[in-house]
Amino acid sequence: ETGVTQSPTHLIKTRGQQVTLRCSSQSGHNTVSWYQQALGQGPQFIFQYYREEENGRGNFPPRFSGLQFPNYSSELNVNALELDDSALYLCASSGPGLAYNEQFFGPGTRLTVL
Amino acid sequence: GDSVTQMEGPVTLSEEAFLTINCTYTATGYPSLFWYVQYPGEGLQLLLKATKADDKGSNKGFEATYRKETTSFHLEKGSVQVSDSAVYFCALLGGSEKLVFGKGTKLTVNP
């Protein structure tokens, strides 16, 4: 059974650029959640996708957007990057169903914005 | 809104010492409570959980009891090992169906 994978591992961008991060969910999982973990902080919920629909969003501006594909993999897109967007971005998958199941986390993508 | 407060780190212990990491929460209703662990360079792993008052979660020698009267979920281990060195996060799942995390506590265990 393959776990949650994320790509790329590391990424460096400059202010104003756009970035796309990718996540492959664990086999059999249909729910993907994205979190932002700033240095020295706990993860902050960005949004969740369930069966290709957004199912809840945290306090992040609209320039953070996402997609979930029919195979339940997911993308996180961030437009107009700001310095404060530098963080570890974690993807977690769970499922099946909407009821809470254990979320399995990927290793994360480290984004640095210069 | 929902929030989690856990003790500031870092915590440094010698091998076989007793560990306590305090965690308190604020939430409406009856949240589920979790401890996650993050080893260097890795994602988060669920360590243990408790879904209702007085439940005790346990795993790998770690324990935490859901105390509704004190809104706490303190993590304990009787004898830590060097391999327990990691960052520990307390988290809750409330009515919003999203995990809310504390800031994390870094534990270093020296041989």
Per-residue pLDDT tens digits for B44-83: 999 999 999 999 999 999 999 999 999 999 999 999 999 9
**Chain A environment of B103 (Cβ under 8 Å):** 40-42
- For A:39-68, CB contacts with B below 8 A are 40-45, 48, 55-56, 58
Query: Could you tell me how far CA A63 lies from the centroid of its own chain?
Result: 14
Distance CA A91, CA A85 (A): 16
Region B15-43: what's the mean pLDDT? 93
Does the structure show a pLDDT above 80 at B90?
yes
Per-residue pLDDT tens digits for A55-109: 889 999 999 999 999 999 999 999 999 999 999 999 999 887 555 567 889 999 9
Closest residue in chain A to residue B49, using alpha carbons only: A102
Per-residue pLDDT tens digits for A15-40: 999 999 999 998 888 899 999 999 98
- Residues near A62 by beta carbon (within 8 Å), at least 6 away in sequence: none
Indicate the pLDDT class of residue A1, thresholds 50, 70 and 90: low
